[in-house]
Amino acid sequence: MDNIMSYETVELDEREGSIIILDQTKLPNEVQFLQLKEQKDMWQAIYLLQVRGAPAIGVFAAFALYLAAKDIDADTWEAFYAPFHDAKEYLNSSRPTAVNISWSLNRMEQLAIDNRNKPIAEIKALLLKESKEIKAEDVWMCRRIGENGLTLLKDGDGILTHCNAGQLATSKYGTALAPIHLGVERGMNFRVFCDETRPLLQGARLSAFELMVDGVDTTVICDNMASQVMKNGWVNVVFVGCDRVAANGDSCNKIGTSGVAILAKYYGIPFYVLAPTSTIDMSIEKGEDIVIEQRPPEEVTKMWYKQRMVPQGVKVYNPAFDFVDNELITGIVTEYGIARPPYTESLKEIFRRKTETKPRL
């Protein structure tokens, strides 16, 4: 089996005017790449989780908006901006919870606005350059998160993770899995327990896939087995990714993460959220203010089964995310350091460091 670390999760094909992605809905049984040219197909790719993970979606959205801009036939700013803004809003509607997509799209739009007095061709060239920089920054960010997270690990540690926040969710290395991948590069050994992460099984299909092919001792467990694994003493630390962090440190991640945090607190196991600063939304005060995406009931009732598993007509509650209360979080690992309670202060310090540090791309 090929090592996932050698693949590009999201790649812009300038010559063809398309984005190439690794279709994550086919993993782990099939490694298939999609070449997307139409905006509707790009929107679908995000919504259907063919491309997923907050950082990867941000990179994908930047490329998609550039391609939308490239196809706009306009000579004036006014004629260009209206369809450009519509394309941005359309892409942004695909995933309401993960902040990286809106962060990326807003960054691209602001660049265009700041250069509105320049020729349209030059604006398009600047958008292309910006989209590439967003990806380069993502690679740098993941490595820095990996380095910071690795300081929390010892050789031989048992790590529990939920969902997928690895290479498949970013441009390189990942967030929650980045310290593991970097540790492997340096000859370290870990025992990783991957929650299945129901109902879409990103832990079983994706995290287990990329960890196993990278040579990590990997064990898949059903979500309701996490307590027993912790009780057995097999878990030294919990590493999870995140789709949005509020100003008070409340962290929104794939559904089931809050339960893992509660269990970790009970068993005295450190619980870390690993997230780039682009995922931290200081405009949102607390977790209750985060819009939680509701997914189709079919993901629960029949998606993984030959026959329908749930009685016809029964109600289904299928939120894609929950949020972890800040009091359950030991630390938030970012590319600019590790924030610790109280997060209302430490997250401000992280952003202060960000303003003083330029990414080394």
pLDDT tens-place string over residues 72-94: 999 999 999 999 999 999 999 99
334-346 pLDDT, tens digit per residue, is 999 999 999 999 9
In angstroms, rounded to a whole number, what is the distance separating the alpha carbons of residues 113 and 108? 9
Residue 360 has pLDDT above 90, yes or no: no
171, two tokens: 């441009």
Domain ranges of the chain: 4-142, 152-356
In angstroms, rounded to a whole number, what is the distance separating the alpha carbons of residues 58 and 354? 19
* pLDDT score for 4: 67
Residue 314 has pLDDT above 70, yes or no: yes
188, two tokens: 């370290």
Length of the chain: 361
| 3-state secondary structure at position 13 | strand
Percent of the chain with pLDDT over 90: 92
Rounded to an integer, the average pLDDT of 197-207 is 96
Burial class (CB in 10 A: 0-12, 13-18, 19+), 208: buried
* pLDDT score for 97: 76
* pLDDT score for 170: 94
Helix then strand then coil, % of the chain, to nearest 5:
45, 15, 40
Burial code of 330-355, b = ≥16 C-beta within 10 A, e = fewer?
bbbbbbbbbbeeebeebbeebeeebe
Amino acid in the structure at residue 347: L
Q: Give the mean pLDDT of the chain.
A: 95
Residue 290 has pLDDT above 80, yes or no: yes
* pLDDT score for 218: 98
In angstroms, rounded to a whole number, what is the distance separating the alpha carbons of residues 292 and 274? 20
Q: What is the pTM of this model?
A: 0.90
Rounded to an integer, the average pLDDT of 311-339 is 97
Q: What is the fold of 152-356?
A: Rossmann fold (3.40.50)
50-64 pLDDT, tens digit per residue, is 999 889 999 999 999
* pLDDT score for 32: 92
Residue 1 has pLDDT above 60, yes or no: no
* pLDDT score for 96: 78
142-164 pLDDT, tens digit per residue, is 999 999 999 999 999 999 999 99
Dihedral over Cα of 333, 334, 336, 342: its sign: negative
282, two tokens: 């200081």
How far is residue 325 CA from its own chain's centroid? 19
Q: Give the CATH number of domain 4-142.
A: 1.20.120.420
Rounded to an integer, the average pLDDT of 315-334 is 97
152-356 has the same fold as 4-142? no
Higher model confidence: residue 270 or residue 54? Answer: 270
Residues forming the active site: 243
Residue 178's nearest CA partner among 156, 201, 158, 150 is 150
CA dist 325 → 197, 220, 252 (Å): 19, 26, 9
Least confident of 1-5, 123-127, 136-140, 252-256: 1-5
Residue 191 has pLDDT above 80, yes or no: yes
* pLDDT score for 3: 65
Question: Band of the pLDDT at 5, cuts 50, 70, 90?
Answer: confident
276-288 pLDDT, tens digit per residue, is 998 999 999 999 9
Rounded to an integer, the average pLDDT of 236-249 is 97
Residue 358 has pLDDT above 90, yes or no: no
